[in-house]
Structure 1
Amino acid sequence: MNARRYRCYYTPRDALGHLNPSDTGAAPFVQLHAANAEHALELAQKVTGCPVIEATRIEG
């Protein structure tokens, strides 16, 4: 597998599990290695337990 780095933005949840988007509009993110963007989205969903908004490949 040729893993690449991705930054995945997600919508966090509050203590009761309800979606709690940021008041500033800036979404938190996790960075991880994955084979492609689709795989990165799946991994980010598993890691955060939250809906993932976007996966962006990090060059370099």
Structure 2
Amino acid sequence: MIEHGLDRRNIVALHTGQCWDPGKRAEPATRAQAVEALHRQVPACTKCRPDTALGIVDLGR
């Protein structure tokens, strides 16, 4: 899931579909969208760890 900020163009976090804390402005995303968001340095939720669930542990950070 991709969580948007007040400005819908701003992505504030990435979550798994089972996350218990996705925020009110989260919407479903494809795997490709989630991977692209991680590559653009969108923060992964620290509770559900979507980066680990997608098999992307380190992006050179």
| TM-score, length of structure 2 as denominator length | 0.31
**Bigger proportion of residues as strand:** 1
Which of structures 1 and 2 has the bigger CA Rg? 1
Q: With a CA cutoff of 8 Å and minimum separation of 6, indicate the structure with the bigger relative contact order.
A: 1
| TM-score, length of structure 1 as denominator length | 0.31
